[in-house]
Structure 1
Amino acid sequence: MPLYIKDPEVDRLADELVGLTKTSKVGAVKTALKREIASRKQSLPIRDRLAKSLAMARAAGPYAPGDHKRETNEMWGED
């Protein structure tokens, strides 16, 4: 879905960024959005940032003890 913004200030800011970055308006807006998203994600509490990893670890279950080197070698047909 296209993004249409009819705001003179946003247009002026985008033009200023285009001038500074020597890129297209689309490229400038895309870069600015990516940087803002990354900044916001970085500022989230560590608990929120690790929630997905924690959920994956819980879904995987407890660590299974064993000889993982031997199991991997068997899987690849190595001695």
Structure 2
Amino acid sequence: MTRGTDSDGTLPSRLHPSLVRDHKFPSARFGRRGLDPQEVRRFQHRVALEMATLHQEVARLTDENTRVKRVLRDWRSGRANQRQS
């Protein structure tokens, strides 16, 4: 089992910074030196997908935060106008 993998050898469902930082790639097959290029590319693809998902979530939450702030500002403005009346 490679460090950072589940007991069945698969990657966990969510990537965490420590998993990316500590991931160990298996050695290449017999007769080759270094890391298995296919394994490295698969991990890079996984990291890229996770990062894309996180970027989309940050953008969604930023938009939601902007909407909530706008509604709160409008509500406060309406309350202030009611008090002045």
TM-score by length of 1: 0.32
From the two aligned structures, give the one with the greater helix fraction: 1
TM-score by length of 2: 0.30
Q: Which structure exhibits the higher relative contact order, with contacts defined as CA atoms closer than 8 Å and separated by 6 or more residues? A: 2
